[in-house]
Amino acid sequence: MSETLALEAKALGRRYGSNWALSDCSLEIPAGSVTALVGPNGAGKTTLLQLAVGLIQPTTGTISVLGHGPRAEPLQVLPQVGFVAQDHPLPRRFTIGETLTLGRKLNPSWNNAIAETRIDELGLSRRQRICTLSGGQQAQVALTLALAKQPQLLLLDEPVASLDPLARREFLTGVVQAVTETGITVVLSSHIVADLERVCDRLIILANGRAQLVGPIEELLAGHRLLTGPRSDAASVARVHQVIRESHTERQTTLLVRANGHVYDSCWEMHEVDLEEIVLAYLGTTRGAARMEVPAGVAR
């Protein structure tokens, strides 16, 4: 890698009409990482990825990809970035072979051997038309197009959202295999947190146009705890730790905190949390609050 940061955003903002899809968003994505980009619809995930690839322009702030501005220097950035847009657009009337030719003609760094090997491994024939392929197969072809140009950075906008579980698994396998073979940096936006936990080592939670949480997944899992105890107010805990979410029943209070050091409090019972709960807490969903019952069975 020539840059240690694959992507850097500083106070990035993008407005549509009167609505700010992203506002004051600052984050860094180190090279070689596989980052999960998580957030509700309209949070700005697609906007962020489109800004990174130069499809749209920032309203405020800057974004730099592999050291260059995507809109200002497209010919420096585009050959190094593989992008699969939401619902993996492809030329529907083309055959797979013609789609590969498209990739070859439009990308000077195209490696046809990689493309053909992938297509063969997927069990697809070059003569099949794109419109006859299943959703999963189309997503795989789109991924092939993105990988065969040998990029340093791969940006995937909800690539598996509309796919069945098997197709999802196969797609993600393709992604991790690419990471294994080339050390490519990946940013992958998705709703489905469970998938991301296996594949990604970093997390960005985007909500309300801002980066709410950024960091290595392992650190985040180690740094967040669920505290349960008798009904009380969170003030004493909040003085030391960051309370992300609190919920109360008649007799019990449950807090999800980002621990600032160790948690010492005789009132509270402490449990680990999994990634999905952390994400839900930051996204502020009431669904998450309902789940904060007394945890079952063995301590995690």
Distance linking the first and last C-alpha atoms of the chain: 38
Task: Please tell me the distance from the alpha carbon of residue 117 to that of residue 119, in angstroms, as a whole number.
Answer: 5
Coil, helix or strand at residue 122: coil
* Contact flag: residue 116 with other proteins (CB under 8 A): no
Q: Quick one: angle between helices 135-148 and 96-106, nearest 10?
A: 30
Rounded CA separation 89/238 (Å): 47
Instruction: Give 176 or 284: the residue with its C-beta nearer to other proteins.
Output: 176
- Whichever of 105 and 284 has its CB closer to other proteins, that residue is 105
DSSP H helices, 54-192, are: 74-77, 96-106, 112-121, 135-148, 165-182
**Contact letters for other proteins, residues 204-243 (x by CB under 8 A):** --------------x--x----------------------
What's the angle, vertex CA 284, arms to CA 228 and CA 24, rounded to 5? 130
For residues 116 and 274, which CB has a smaller minimum distance to other proteins in the complex?
274
Is 177 a binding residue for other proteins by CB under 8 A? The answer is yes
Q: Which of residues 54-83 bind other proteins (CB under 8 A)?
A: 54-56, 74-75, 78-79, 81, 83
Q: Which helix (DSSP H) or strand (DSSP E) does residue 25 occupy?
A: strand 19-30
Exactly one of 5, 69, 94, 252 binds other proteins (CB under 8 A); that residue is 94
Mark the segment that binds other proteins (CB under 8 A) among 22-30, 172-180, 204-212, 242-250: 172-180
Q: Binding residue for other proteins (CB under 8 A) from 68, 98, 192, 248?
A: 98
**263 forms part of the interface with other proteins (CB under 8 A):** yes
172 touches other proteins by CB under 8 A: yes
* Residues contacting 145, CB < 8 A, separation 6+: 82, 84, 90, 99, 100, 102, 103, 115
Verify binding: residue 90, other proteins, rule CB under 8 A. yes
Q: Is 272 in the site for other proteins (CB under 8 A)?
A: yes
**Among 109, 112, 236, 249, which residue interacts with other proteins (rule: CB under 8 A)?**
109
Residue 7: closest CA among 54, 42, 40, 41 = 54
Q: How far apart are CA 244 and CA 280, in angstroms?
A: 10
Which among 242-250, 252-260, 270-278, 286-294 is the span making contact with other proteins, rule CB under 8 A?
270-278
Lookup: tokens for 220: 């985040």
Chain center to CA of 75: 25
Range in contact with other proteins (rule: CB under 8 A) among 112-120, 240-248, 253-261, 263-271:
263-271
Residue with tokens 């019952």: 293
Site string for other proteins, 23-52 (x = CB under 8 A): -----------x---------------x--
**Binding residues for other proteins, per CB under 8 A?**
16, 34, 50, 53-56, 74-75, 78-79, 81, 83, 85, 87, 89-91, 93-94, 98, 101-103, 105-109, 142, 145, 149, 169, 172-173, 176-177, 179-181, 194, 197-201, 218, 221, 263-266, 269-272, 274, 297-300
